[in-house]
Structure 1
Amino acid sequence: MGNMMIPVVLLQNYLTKLLKDEAHLLSGVKGQVRSIQDDLQIMISFGKDYVGKQNNDDTEKVLEQITEVALDVEDIIDTYLERKLTIKQRWLPKNLLSNPLHFFSHVKALSKASRKTRSINEDIKGITDKYAANGIEESQSGAADTEAKQLLGGRHRPVSIKDGSGEAQSSAAGADDVDDDDDMVGFEDQTESLVNRLTDRKNSQRDVVSIIGMGGLGKTTLANKIFTLVKDRFDCYAWVHVSQAYQKRRLFLDMLKCFGSNFSDEIYSNKSDEDLVVEIRDYLRGKRYFVVMDDVWETQVWDEVKAALPDDENGSRILITGRHKDIASHASSSVALVRTKSDFPSNFENLGKQVVERCKGLPLSITELGMALANKWNSYPRSDFIDFLVDEYSKHTLNRCLDSVALSYNNLPYHLKPCFLYLGVFPEDFEIKTKMLTELWIAEGIIVQHTGNTNGAYVAAEFYLEELINRSLIQVVSRRDLNGSVKSCRVHSSVRDFCIKQSLQEKFFEFQSMDNPSSRGKIIRRHSVDSKTNPYYCVFWNACDTSSARSFLLFSSAFLLGEISMWEWLLEGFKFIRVLVMLSDNTRYDLGISFPKGIQNLIFLRYLKMTGFITKDHERLCYQFFDSICNLQFLETIDVQFDREVEVSLPGSIWKMTKLRHLSGYKSIKLPKPPRQLVEKGMNKLCNLQALAHLYVDGTSAGFIVESKFPNLTYLGLYYKRDESDGLNESEMTQPVVSLEKLPYLQRLSIVGFEKYEPRLEFSASSTLLTQVKLKKSFVDSNLLSILGKLPNLHALKIKLDKSYIDNELDVGVIRIVEGGFPQLRVFKLIRCGFKKWEMDEGAMPKLQYLVMIKNEEIEALPDQLWCMEGLRRVELSSMSRRLTYSLSHLAEEKVKYQTLAGNDDDDDVNSLSRYLKGKTVTKLIMKNRCQVLVDDTPLYDDDDDE
């Protein structure tokens, strides 16, 4: 059975948010809502104790009732709010007859729901009292242990473990993938590296090595092979299987069983856990031992075991396998599993590709299916046999993989389970942007805003994402240069399959595609549709009841977004929708052809993301669109990518959107003054806005920052239009920049089109939180760099110009970084800057780690000081001048050894460096300060993502 508690947790989050932020909308029913909220907390506590365990029919029935009542309560409350908000928006008269009837009908419905939640909690109390009276509670862990062992059935085999005397002992050790080391392919490099580390006699201290990865990757297989290779080099050795159902005493007894030839449970039955620790430590004292701890799930295991494993500085070793990165960082350094290409007969190449494709790349499935093929190869005709066995056996092994993922899922803390399952809403192999994922988690109510911290939910979301990565459930695709935070990720296909299957059981969401059509007639809360592989939208069109849907995500071919009937179906059938995502493959799709009308009726909308393009009349359509959605009082994120070159003029009603958090992604955003009637009501600030880019700077908007219109901004983009900003006086032009102290939370600043300035510009000394600055098509000279260099916490600076913005008459062709400038700068990017010379004083940029220069054809040489900076680790150069190429060639002769990534590592032939620099081959220079310099004649990827 599924957990069946996610709807309850999400409802609890929803009610908490309503009572905190929208209590005025609950007038007259607030008492019932608070009562239901208290009852839900009892249900959640009950669920944490009993969900996923082997319970009796009464318990299972209560768990199902909990889910049903949570969904009913959410519908009742939203129906009440919908009527109230609709009347308010349409300025309908408050009829003395209709309003009381409306009010009392919903009070009655909520009272009925409240009675039902109290009744369920009485049943819960009866169940818990019964369990306590009969001592059943203690057996729950045993049931969970049995279930875990069943899920792992057949994956562990006993092995023979010998102590120093050579006497064999029984153990629970095993390999999870194969029964013979000879069947294992692709771990050669990892095996050699681990064996060398484990047997290195130069390191006399006790050393702990970890193998970390998702279930099915072959961690136990690798550990077992290594165990076989190295165990005889130690005085004594042991293999203990820890598992998810970890019991400290059992682990100590297994260890003693491996070490002691006269072991029996009776000998130690009267001894405490502390006595067992002493027994093991005394036995190992003075011996060089090797212990494998397989399938460790928690860091506390190492904390409890390490006291029994003495460090006598004789080269003892411990090898740990597990799924959580935290285990490795807690006890040791980790070893990632990476499969390498292996040789095999060419006639098996196509078969191998079929196996890998059908098994979706998971080593566990590939190994088992490969063994099945090997065992039955001569028993059946080739063509029929291969198709049949691959189809049938891959299903079996994939089910095993799902069981493996289920173990990880069941071990997740409650707050991470919906975060993890939500990853299944994205199509297969979809690269998930962290920004999009975290905003969706928040909009869906999976993560709630922490009181008193406007950015708290986003901090929590990033922390949760890292937790899932550390548990080997998410694959990192890219990280940000500055702080290493995750920029994008994806999930393995077997993990995604589990998320989709489990979410349907949990009544969380349904994923629909050609391979997974809609469940007709079912009431689904969240719909995710991948129509890119399906030319007909009948997969989901009117296939299920959408009246209770809260989310709709469509990953589509462009044509589908142009269907007028699709928009009508969506806007009429999803009245409670909070999340709307419409992404097209074709970014040039003309959204203006089928511009959505009636979107203002989606009054509960929190998150809106669309992609498209408007070929004509874009200014009117954009204004019309924003005029429609500005009445959506719950809307927090507007991410509608008409086109990055679109200049958007917003209506005055934008100032009503007090909950808006993100408004960015356009060439420029023109904000009008707040209408007088809104100013009189105190609605003249976007108090929750955190990201705004790019604000068109004119005589009106120049003072918005001074007037603290956006007090909680963390990211600001400013846009100056050259042919129009000439009309600004010096004060208006510089006012937004010099007034940054009015933005106490600002961390990132982007400026486009900033002209040369007089008098000299100065940043406020209070702009201490600024960590990133980006300048694009702006006037940059040594003076500006000197000013930026005084920002105490600036970690990243990106300058992206073109030659037209360089005034040679003012000798801007030379830039200089003065001593002490940029004390915390770590990332420096120069793109198409047009500078002829770069000078740098001693002591400038002392913490620089990463330098990128692209298409700076005018620069003839890099400062010599760069190669003396101990912290500099990477320099990337692309499309540079011949003079710079020559200077690097000369530098190579004097200070570097080099190798080409194309395979030429002849260190003596330094004269060939120039030839490689002029060609298309990337060349890597290793500097004396250990900095890597990558030179490429083709442009490097330029990340222009302002977010």
Structure 2
Amino acid sequence: MVASGNQSCLAIDSYAEDIRNQSARNVDEAELVGFSDSKKRLLEMIDTNANDGPAKVICVVGMGGLGKTALSRKIFESEEDIRKNFPCNAWITVSQSFHRIELLKDMIRQLLGPSSLDQLLQELQGKVVVQVHHLSEYLIEELKEKRYFVVLDDLWILHDWNWINEIAFPKNNKKGSQIVITTRNVDLAEKCATASLVYHLDFLQMNDAITLLLRKTNKNHEDMESNKNMQKMVERIVNKCGRLPLAILTIGAVLATKQVSEWEKFYEHLPSELEINPSLEALRRMVTLGYNHLPSHLKPCFLYLSIFPEDFEIKRNRLVGRWIAEGFVRPKVGMTTKDVGESYFNELINRSMIQRSRVGIAGKIKTCRIHDIIRDITVSISRQENFVLLPMGDGSDLVQENTRHIAFHGSMSCKTGLDWSIIRSLAIFGDRPKSLAHAVCPDQLRMLRVLDLEDVTFLITQKDFDRIALLCHLKYLSIGYLSSIYSLPRSIGKLQGLQTLNMPSTYIAALPSEISKLQCLHTLRCSRKFVSDNFSLDHPMKCITNTICLPKVFTPLVSRDDRAIQIAELHMATKSCWYKSFGVKVPKGIGKLRDLQVLEYVDIRRTSSRAIKELGQLSKLRKLGVMTNGSTKEKCKILCAAIEKLSSLQYLYVNAAGYFVPRFYFLSSSPTEDTRVVWKS
């Protein structure tokens, strides 16, 4: 990193320093509620009594606002634990654009005393221009035989640590010195720390979070227990804050100026308060600092998270697939686009911008979440940059000319003036939007790249789907579990750029041969559902009397749900549903999809032997799901021979429930040692 006196760099440093100081003061005011265990565990990692051995590096890692700086400051200022055990100690705040010479001067001043720095500068004065190596050589020489304790607060980049470690600390110090680093970056922490000395600071426990909010609002538990409305609001606010100390303290400070009766109104308007209320500036800065420090390729990926609803569990595959379709993922030599996209995902996790939620058996992150407060601020940034339009239904939507992404959360409608012809992505969560009352895919959506209907709560019909081929630029298509689609139109072959086709719950029994024209397809998920309505009769004898009324409900004019309700009412029965998934028939020509990496689920019984054989041509396939129910032994052998050729296969799912299980074939023909095979029989 090059030293710079640039005013913008100094402004950024000042900006970041202000955030850290304000955050630390806030947590300090709260007397570190809920931090006693964290302090104890961190002190156990810091070997205060060791008088020999090389210097150890301990890392405290976690998202912004958790109290990393405040916790480390409490330990640093501890007379009993630190001051009496380490004659030399220093607290160094590292910024992304720090000045190398000034940092070294600060270390010398704190570790060796102001007089040492003054004497060194006086000796150099008039002889040479002070350079890094002058200060470095002096500092390393003086620290060789000294026991020191240094905190490097808010480190962002591994390169900065490598430079500081090389230029400031002696290699052969055997005095049991200790270095504590605070950072948001998990990957950096693991690379810096000695052995496994990484402390992951977590969110507060619920009881501690409530205590913290009450203390900041000058209330106590007795006040809360005597006021049910207050108790309800305290719990809602703590949940909204996600048990993040900085969020609780900042919002608590505002609530302290209001009557309890005003808390609910403030809570309801919190997203807009985060944008305009000066008292919440620390929270805005916490998020914007992390966002500003993101490399350029990660910024649109992070803002894209604002599309998803509050407290939503986001699937990794879904997010990465959408990033790729939007063109956010840049190609890299020797890596697939999906691998690059997943590296972006992991980087956002490592930078503590998003939190892991569900982890698979193999340790891979399946889903993630974005903290509620961070999401609200991210939505604000997205609006400012005109990145995403989230219709609010209250007339406050600002529709600008270059809006490209739109997400509906429920049956909201957006203001008139939206130019649908330039929309690149459309996502719907919940009920059908009023703006799309007549068609999910309006004719104007000709430039659409992403259509995500995975979480709708209304029925996607065949009529909605038949015009899909008009969206000739579509790259990502996902339909959720509420669909009555029974056929994939042959015109699907016109979607030459389609990369992801996700239809996990339809009535489609077979894929058309035109699917083989989708040369860009890398993910194909399609299964056929069977839904059975079961009725438990309280009065079986009355069933005979009422059966004469049944024919009128068993007509195409009555939907399945309405029919089930009428039957239940007619016979005074209790209704329950039973769902089962089956595979789909894949056509001959499936082997042409050479970029395919995920294929689920193939009905081996109904698929021709030739098409089964072609599965072996899918050399990039990583994940395969097959259903062998009722298949002949001959088809299973052909399948096994095809699987043997899949050198990239990592996951194989076989469902053979209730039928002949060709297990001995699969066990003898696993394509690679790393392939994970899951059986259901």
TM-score category by the smaller chain?
0.7 to 0.9
Asked if the contact 2:604/2:627 (under 8 Å) is kept, the reply is yes
Q: State the partner residue of 2:598.
A: 691
Q: State the partner residue of 2:102.
A: 250
Counterpart pick for 2:244 among 349, 355, 362: 362
Q: State the partner residue of 2:558.
A: none
Asked if the contact 1:752/1:777 (under 8 Å) is kept, the reply is no
Q: State the partner residue of 1:940.
A: none
Q: State the partner residue of 2:295.
A: 413
Deviations 1:581-621 (A, max 9, x none): 113354xx543375434222111111111114456xxxxx5
In the alignment, the residues of structure 1 paired with residue 304 and residue 88 of structure 2 have an alpha-carbon distance, to the nearest angstrom, of: 47
Q: How does 1:128-167 map to 2 (within 5 A)?
A: 141-150=6-15, 152-153=17-18, 155-156=20-21
Q: State the partner residue of 1:261.
A: 114
In the alignment, the residues of structure 2 paired with residue 639 and residue 301 of structure 1 have an alpha-carbon distance, to the nearest angstrom, of: 43
Counterpart pick for 1:503 among 382, 395, 404: 382
Q: State the partner residue of 1:462.
A: 342
Deviations 1:432-456 (A, max 9, x none): 10110111011001114557x6x71
Q: How does 1:168-187 map to 2 (within 5 A)?
A: 176-178=24-26, 180=28, 183-187=31-35
Asked if the contact 1:712/1:743 (under 8 Å) is kept, the reply is yes
Cα displacement (A) at 1:521: 5.3
Q: How does 1:66-465 map to 2 (within 5 A)?
A: 141-150=6-15, 152-153=17-18, 155-156=20-21, 176-178=24-26, 180=28, 183-201=31-49, 204-205=52-53, 206-229=55-78, 230-232=81-83, 233-259=85-111, 260-262=113-115, 263-264=117-118, 266-267=121-122, 270-307=129-166, 308-310=168-170, 311-332=172-193, 333-338=197-202, 339-340=204-205, 341-342=207-208, 344=211, 345-349=220-224, 350=231, 352-353=234-235, 355-357=237-239, 359=241, 361-370=243-252, 383=261, 395-449=277-331, 456-465=336-345
In the alignment, the residues of structure 1 paired with residue 585 and residue 518 of structure 2 have an alpha-carbon distance, to the nearest angstrom, of: 16
Counterpart pick for 1:714 among 612, 619, 622: 622
Cα displacement (A) at 1:347: 2.6
Q: Which amino acid letter does the alignment assign opposite residue 690 of structure 1? A: Q
In the alignment, the residues of structure 2 paired with residue 639 and residue 596 of structure 1 have an alpha-carbon distance, to the nearest angstrom, of: 13
Q: State the partner residue of 2:680.
A: 800
Q: How does 1:861-872 map to 2 (within 5 A)?
A: none
In the alignment, the residues of structure 2 paired with residue 154 and residue 199 of structure 1 have an alpha-carbon distance, to the nearest angstrom, of: 30
In the alignment, the residues of structure 2 paired with residue 672 and residue 636 of structure 1 have an alpha-carbon distance, to the nearest angstrom, of: 18
Asked if the contact 2:478/2:503 (under 8 Å) is kept, the reply is yes
Secondary structure (helix, strand or coil) at the match of 2:89 reads strand
Distance 1:604 1:647, change over 3 A: closer
Q: State the partner residue of 2:489.
A: 626
Q: State the partner residue of 2:439.
A: 568
Q: How does 1:462-861 map to 2 (within 5 A)?
A: 462-482=342-362, 484-514=363-393, 517-520=396-399, 522-531=401-410, 536-538=411-413, 540=414, 542-557=416-431, 560=432, 566-568=437-439, 570-584=441-455, 586=457, 589-592=458-461, 595-613=464-482, 621-623=485-487, 625-643=488-506, 646=507, 648-666=509-527, 667-673=582-588, 685-698=592-605, 701-707=608-614, 710-722=618-630, 725=631, 728=632, 730-753=633-656, 779=660, 783=664, 787=668, 793-794=673-674, 796-801=676-681
Cα displacement (A) at 1:459: 0.6
Cα displacement (A) at 1:781: 8.8
Cα displacement (A) at 1:732: 3.2
In the alignment, the residues of structure 1 paired with residue 337 and residue 49 of structure 2 have an alpha-carbon distance, to the nearest angstrom, of: 49
Q: State the partner residue of 1:878.
A: none
Deviations 1:285-308 (A, max 9, x none): 322211111111111222122242
In the alignment, the residues of structure 2 paired with residue 384 and residue 424 of structure 1 have an alpha-carbon distance, to the nearest angstrom, of: 28
Cα displacement (A) at 1:398: 3.9
Bigger relative contact order (CA 8 A; separation at least 6): 2
In the alignment, the residues of structure 1 paired with residue 267 and residue 638 of structure 2 have an alpha-carbon distance, to the nearest angstrom, of: 72
Q: Which amino acid letter does the alignment assign opposite residue 309 of structure 1? A: F
Asked if the contact 2:94/2:155 (under 8 Å) is kept, the reply is yes
TM-score by length of 2: 0.78
Deviations 1:78-106 (A, max 9, x none): xxxxxxxxxxxxxxxxxxxxxxxxxxxxx
TM-score by length of 1: 0.57
Secondary structure (helix, strand or coil) at the match of 1:591 reads coil
Secondary structure (helix, strand or coil) at the match of 2:298 reads helix
In the alignment, the residues of structure 2 paired with residue 440 and residue 469 of structure 1 have an alpha-carbon distance, to the nearest angstrom, of: 17
Cα displacement (A) at 1:327: 2.4
Q: CA RMSD in A?
A: 3.4
Q: Which amino acid letter does the alignment assign opposite residue 308 of structure 2? A: F
Deviations 1:344-384 (A, max 9, x none): 4423543643652564543213223445666x6xxx86645
Distance 1:435 1:362, change over 3 A: same
Asked if the contact 2:19/2:282 (under 8 Å) is kept, the reply is no
Provide the aligned length of Structure 1 versus Structure 2.
Answer: 587
In the alignment, the residues of structure 2 paired with residue 373 and residue 649 of structure 1 have an alpha-carbon distance, to the nearest angstrom, of: 59
Q: Which amino acid letter does the alignment assign opposite residue 479 of structure 1? A: V
Distance 1:602 1:240, change over 3 A: same
In the alignment, the residues of structure 2 paired with residue 389 and residue 478 of structure 1 have an alpha-carbon distance, to the nearest angstrom, of: 29
Give the % identical residues.
29
Q: Which amino acid letter does the alignment assign opposite residue 627 of structure 1? A: R
Q: Which amino acid letter does the alignment assign opposite residue 345 of structure 2? A: L
Q: State the partner residue of 2:554.
A: none
In the alignment, the residues of structure 2 paired with residue 672 and residue 391 of structure 1 have an alpha-carbon distance, to the nearest angstrom, of: 54
Cα displacement (A) at 1:419: 1.5
Asked if the contact 1:609/1:640 (under 8 Å) is kept, the reply is yes
In the alignment, the residues of structure 1 paired with residue 263 and residue 593 of structure 2 have an alpha-carbon distance, to the nearest angstrom, of: 66
Cα displacement (A) at 1:409: 1.7
In the alignment, the residues of structure 2 paired with residue 628 and residue 509 of structure 1 have an alpha-carbon distance, to the nearest angstrom, of: 30
Asked if the contact 2:453/2:478 (under 8 Å) is kept, the reply is yes
In the alignment, the residues of structure 1 paired with residue 19 and residue 624 of structure 2 have an alpha-carbon distance, to the nearest angstrom, of: 57
In the alignment, the residues of structure 2 paired with residue 447 and residue 491 of structure 1 have an alpha-carbon distance, to the nearest angstrom, of: 20
Q: Which amino acid letter does the alignment assign opposite residue 642 of structure 1? A: S
Deviations 1:733-790 (A, max 9, x none): 311212334433333222222xxxxxxxxxxxxxxxxxxxxxx5565599568636x7
In the alignment, the residues of structure 2 paired with residue 552 and residue 798 of structure 1 have an alpha-carbon distance, to the nearest angstrom, of: 35
Secondary structure (helix, strand or coil) at the match of 2:648 reads coil
